Amino acid sequence: MLTVPAITRSLATIACQTGKLKSVFVPIRRIAESISSVHHGLSPVHVDVLQVAIKGMFYSAALTFIEKQDIVEVDPKHTELTSEDVLRYFYYVGMWYVPIAGWNLMP
């Protein structure tokens, strides 16, 4: 049986391979926002949104998505979330915030 995270992961992968990122970004983002409105936790769909946004260079849309998220829990039993998903999510978030914040990482 296909699950929502499995479908969005497949869509994100295909979009990244074919370059059809714009047509996939908005639907996947809406799915992630729907999940967040019910369950304030991280899901694999959040990771897919950021992956497509980075590949498609949708900077302002991704930043808006990140700032709107109110993630207060990580529940792998209910979301199919893996430890790799958690690491990838925060890695992608960091990729957005470091350049935007203008942090000087050099001494």
Residue 52 CA to residue 60 CA, distance in Å, equals 13
The pLDDT-based confidence of 18 (bands split at 50, 70, 90) is: very high
Rounded Cα distance between 82 and 42, Å, is: 10
Residue type, 27: P
For 33, counting Cβ atoms within 10 Å of its Cβ (0-12 exposed, 13-18 middle, 19+ buried), the class is: middle
Are the C-beta atoms of 52 and 95 separated by less than 8 Å?
A: no
Chain segment 46-94, per-residue pLDDT in tens: 999 999 998 998 888 888 888 888 777 787 777 788 999 999 999 998 8
